[in-house]
Amino acid sequence: MITSVLPTYARAPLSFVRGEGSWLFEAGGDRYLDLGAGIAVNALGHANPDLIGALTAQANKVWHVSNLYQIPEQQALADKLVDNSFADTVFFTNSGTEAAELAIKMARKYHYDRGDKDRIEIITFSGCFHGRSTGAIAASGSEKMVKGFGPLMPGFVHLEFGDHEALKAAVGPKTAAILIEPVQGEGGIRPVPDQCLKGLRDMCDEAGALLIFDEVQCGMGRTGKLFAHEWAGVTPDILMSAKGIGGGFPLGAVLATESAASGMVVGTHGSTYGGNPLACAVGNKIMDVIANDAFLSEVNRKGGLFRQKLEGLVAAHPDVFESVRGEGLMLGLKCKIAPADVVKAGYDAGVITVPAADNVVRLLPPLNITDADIDEGVALLDQAAKALEG
Ligand SMILES: *Cc1c(COP(=O)(O)O)cnc(C)c1O
């Protein structure tokens, strides 16, 4: 008999009733160090007093009004994102996959309005993940996600990650946009080298195509810059955000330049919930805490510390781990055994990690994790590795 919750997830037998900082607690009192943060979502940890304050203050005023009216909290958050990024304008969604939908629509409309109606192709790369809507699975093209759900939205060109020759051959007069994660998340914490991001920017400029960065996972301070592409010194035309931007409250956003967004006039897109007062009250607080040099340099320092300790862990367990990868607090342990087994052993030891493709276990802790919790996390992972070596 089917379960009352649609069984699309193979859930771990863990059930948390409370969180505090980087820790999660089960009803019986067992505690787990959360190095997954709900898949890079709880940017400021659990039960953060600032976020609780922002959410409850708004909850006592007004929850929802719809986008038929002015929403001061949404206006304030859009201003903050524009002030702190390449973007001139922002649309708010409730999730990453909705951000993908708008990014795709926006890119096609841009070319359509220029009379370039055949420019509908969007180039994506193997290992990418842009969400689970029909548009986003078509963008990914991965067999695992699309099988049985056809016919798929046409117009996506799937290339091998890192295949420069194929890319050069694929970009042309039909290319509407290149869509890429500056650091692949689900794909296994695979950073795109700065030189390649620069190369993509140049290619798009030459071909008259738009560049879309999916920073749903790698953005909002995760790599030690507000947005990961800042490391490469290039900017996209369109950027997708979600996950950390709401700190656990459902919120996403599409950021764009004035030019890229020029086709999105009144009536071309909408969302009932997107950018509602509750979500934006939280988003504003997240931006206030994260979008400054002091906070981001701490993310870098902690990322460096964590990485250094993880190198030691890998050296101590050469049969379990192969290497450390990633940037800031978006780290991955490349494993020599099935990552699911490492994650499971972590649960037994009291530490939460997240599996990814390419035999990688992801470490995506709250960005405000303490040094002591980083120490403890590595100790718990060490315990897990020892148990695996049995
Ligand atoms: C999680 C994720 C998405 C999809 O976000 P949802 O909120 O689950 O729809 C899109 N892109 C990337 C890079 C992601 O990590």
Ligand 1 atom at minimum distance from 181 CA: 13
CA contacts within 13 A on the Cβ side of 90: 26
For the stretch 319-356, pLDDT in tens is 999 999 999 999 999 999 999 999 999 999 999 999 99
pLDDT band at residue 384 under the 50/70/90 scheme: very high
pTM: 0.98
Using most ligand atoms within 8 A of CB, pick from 39, 97, 238 the residue to mutate for ligand 1: 97
Atom 15 in ligand 1: which residue has the minimum CA distance? Answer: 217
Rounded mean pLDDT of the chain? 98
Find the 174 Cα to ligand 1 centroid distance in Å.
26
pLDDT band at residue 390 under the 50/70/90 scheme: confident
In angstroms, rounded to a whole number, what is the distance separating the alpha carbons of residues 331 and 334? 10
Using DSSP, state whether 166 is helix, strand or coil: helix
Residue 150 DSSP class: P
In angstroms, rounded to a whole number, what is the distance separating the alpha carbons of residues 40 and 216? 9
Find the 131 Cα to ligand 1 centroid distance in Å.
5
The β-bridge relationship of strands 351-352 and 31-34 is parallel
Which residue in 345, 350, 353 sits closest to 388, CA to CA? 345
Helix axes 277-290, 293-316, angle to 10 degrees: 80
Segment 166-184 mean pLDDT? 98
Find the 342 Cα to ligand 1 centroid distance in Å.
23
In angstroms, rounded to a whole number, what is the distance separating the alpha carbons of residues 205 and 202? 5
Annotate 243-275 with DSSP letters as a single string: GGGGBTB--EEEEE-TTTTTT--TTS---SSTT
Name the class of domain 62-290: alpha beta
The domain segmentation of the chain, as residue ranges, is 62-290, 293-334
For the stretch 290-314, pLDDT in tens is 999 999 999 999 999 999 999 999 9
Using DSSP, state whether 303 is helix, strand or coil: helix
Check residue 361 and give its pLDDT: 98
Q: What does the radius of gyration of the chain's CA atoms come to, in whole angstroms?
A: 21
Contact predicate 166/175, CB 8 Å: no
Alpha-carbon distances of 303 from 286, 296, 363, rounded to whole Å: 19, 10, 10
Q: What lines the ligand 1 site, CB under 6 Å?
A: 95-97, 129-131, 181, 185-186, 214, 216-217, 242-243
Segment 103-114 mean pLDDT? 98
Q: List the helix and strand counts (H, then E) for the chain.
A: 12, 17
Using most ligand atoms within 8 A of CB, pick from 98, 190, 216, 220 the residue to mutate for ligand 1: 216
Contact predicate 382/312, CB 8 Å: no
Which residue in 296, 240, 297, 263 sits closest to 97, CA to CA? 240
Provide the edge-to-edge strand list for the sheet that holds 16-20. 16-20, 23-26, 31-34, 351-352
The β-bridge relationship of strands 31-34 and 321-327 is unpaired
User: In this prediction, what percent of the chain has a pLDDT beyond 70?
Assistant: 100
Check residue 328 and give its pLDDT: 98
For the stretch 22-60, pLDDT in tens is 999 999 999 999 999 999 999 999 999 999 999 999 999
In angstroms, rounded to a whole number, what is the distance separating the alpha carbons of residues 250 and 332? 25
Segment 228-240 mean pLDDT? 98
For the stretch 73-100, pLDDT in tens is 999 999 999 999 999 999 999 999 999 9
The residues, any chain, with a CB within 8 Å of residue 387's CB and separated by 6 or more, are 345, 348, 349
Instruction: Report phi then psi at 46, rounded to 5.
Output: -95, 145
Contact predicate 308/283, CB 8 Å: no
Segment 255-259 mean pLDDT? 99
